Amino acid sequence: MKNLYLVCICACLLIFPACKKTEIEHYDGRADVEIKRITSTATGKIEHIFFDKGVKIPKEFLLVKIDSQKLAVQKKQKELLLKELNLNIENLEINKQELCQELNFKESLLKKTMRMLKDGAATTNNKEELAANVAILKLKITEIANQKLTLKNKKALLEKDVVLLNLQINDTEIHSPIKAIVLNKYVNEGEFVPAGFLLADIADLNLLKVRIYVPLAELPEIYLGKKVWLIAEGVKEKFQGKVSWISSEAEFTPKTIITKETRTSLVYAVEITVPNIADQLKIGVPVDVYLEI
């Protein structure tokens, strides 16, 4: 009977080898979110507001429209001036082409007259008159080229003005950079706001962050991408997250955090990213974080 008992023990040891003990460390934290502050990109009166506090919005959703009537008028004026300039440049080019054709004819005639002068079939007056006409035509062509250059420089400046006005008009429409929920609203329709004025706070609740503080002794076991488990107060399901940021500088243990070391010990802040697809995690809820060390 004793021999049978020993055989059973040996068989168990072979089937179930000794496992390394894994220590589970627990940390306290709170669910938080990265808040994006939406500010005005233009100066003017708010024409329309298309959002409200607590409303979910898709990416590129139009949040605010600022009055752009003055900018639109300025743009129209610049475009009319551009149209006029283009017409003047076209007319100058037509004149230049006509003068060039005449110049080619006069130069050809001058060469012919110079040959005839050698044979006595033409006079010096004929030659001088044609040479004067050629010089005048060249001067006119040069003047037209200078006028065209001046108009083209004005055109380039006007085109830059139109591009700038288009950008300013685009800035009167403020869109959401992400799919989010509106946390705070700071303006109302009809208010005048300067550029940079705070309009709203938004956040992506599908991706929350939890910050914990890890003692120096346990820091070597923490690395970017490390998976952790989280349990939120009032939520039955467990959440899985991963370490997304580790502070490079130590700090004194915050008074609200309890660790195994004393409150005067140095710890490192560690941030954990947690998917929150079902919106079960709420901002500010206490979270227990468990790491395998």
Model confidence over 4-37: pLDDT tens digits? 433 443 444 344 444 444 556 789 999 999 899 9
User: What's the pLDDT score for residue 15?
Assistant: 44
Residue identified by tokens 């001046």 is: 150
Tell me the pLDDT band of 116, cut-offs 50, 70 and 90: confident
The pLDDT of 43-56, averaged and rounded, is 96
Q: Is the pTM of this model over 0.75?
A: no
Residue identified by tokens 């001067």 is: 139
* 289 touches 238 (CB < 8 A): no
3-state secondary structure of 67: coil
* Whether the predicted pLDDT of 169 surpasses 60: yes
257: DSSP letter: -
- Alpha carbons 92 and 86: distance in angstroms, whole number: 10
User: What's the pLDDT score for residue 188?
Assistant: 96
- Alpha carbons 44 and 190: distance in angstroms, whole number: 9
Of 163, 99, 168, 159, the C-alpha closest to 135 is 99
In terms of pLDDT, which residue wins out, 11 or 249?
249
- Alpha carbons 44 and 166: distance in angstroms, whole number: 16
User: What's the pLDDT score for residue 4?
Assistant: 46
The CA distances from residue 255 to 145, 170, 271, 278, in Å, are: 78, 47, 18, 32
Question: Tens digit of pLDDT for each residue in 172-213?
Answer: 999 999 999 999 999 999 999 999 999 999 999 888 999 999
The pLDDT of 125-131, averaged and rounded, is 86
- Alpha carbons 124 and 110: distance in angstroms, whole number: 11
Tell me the pLDDT band of 255, cut-offs 50, 70 and 90: low
The distance of Cα 176 from the centroid of its chain, to the nearest Å, equals 11
Tell me the pLDDT band of 253, cut-offs 50, 70 and 90: low
Question: Tens digit of pLDDT for each residue in 72-94?
Answer: 999 999 999 999 999 999 999 99
Measured on CA atoms in the order 83, 84, 89, 92, is the torsion positive or negative? positive
The pLDDT of 127-156, averaged and rounded, is 93
Across 100-206, where does the E strand assignment appear?
Answer: 173-175, 180-185, 192-193, 198-203
User: What's the pLDDT score for residue 3?
Assistant: 46
Share of the chain above pLDDT 90, in %: 62
* 40 touches 193 (CB < 8 A): yes
